[in-house]
Amino acid sequence: IVSSIVTKAAEYTISPTINHVKYLSNLQQNVETLNDQTEKLKVERERVQRSVDADLRSGKEIRGDVNNWLSAVDRKIHKQEEKVTQDEEKAKKKCFVGLCPNIWTRYKLSLEAAEKAKAVAKLLEQSKFPEVAYRVALQDITVPQVKGYEEFESRTSVLNEIMEALKDNSVSVIGVHGMGGVGKTTLVKEIARK
């Protein structure tokens, strides 16, 4: 009974103490890990932002979880960049008239760096979106029969070209131009009707 009590007591006291000592000795490693994770997060944020920009240009709607992730990453990176210089200055401060490092400050900084590295790693894991946007459903448009539309050979070829361009998913904008009064509006109304 005594040995099991001693074993349990040692388990609850020695193991946590060793973990706390590790924070003291691993300050530089924890800070480097945090900086590496933050750089990876910046690269991942740029990748997601490029996908978002491309989908916005093609008329897609960005998913809410993607926007939330981007906002969370921006906040995390901004806070991290502010804290790095402050923390480095704190870690350099010494106690006892500069004879030894400030152990409490080093411990706190190491612990914070390890926790922040875990939070950044979690954000990195969340960045694996299957898709960042979705195509917006088109509304039903009912256009009355166009009066006065005559099918000329030149209009038919232009109408067919525009209809083919509308079927192409890579085309996001179609422009119809020409002199006033040649039937641009009438042509577009006929396309809308079809």
Which pLDDT score is estimated for 145?
58
In the chain, where does the domain assigned CATH 1.20.58 lie? 1-135
Which pLDDT score is estimated for 105?
76
Question: Of 154, 134, 144, 127, whose CA–CA distance to 40 is shortest?
Answer: 127
44 pLDDT above the threshold of 60: yes
CATH architecture of 1-135: Up-down Bundle (1.20)
Q: Is the pTM of this model over 0.85?
A: no
Sign of CA dihedral 28, 105, 90, 36: positive
Answer whether 70's CB lies under 8 Å from 49's CB: yes
Residue 151's DSSP bridge partners are none
- C-alpha 123/C-alpha 125 separation (Å) is 5
For residue range 77-102, what is the model confidence (pLDDT) as tens digits?
A: 888 766 655 665 665 565 544 555 66
For residue range 110-167, what is the model confidence (pLDDT) as tens digits?
A: 888 888 889 999 999 998 888 888 887 766 666 555 566 667 777 788 888 888 888 8
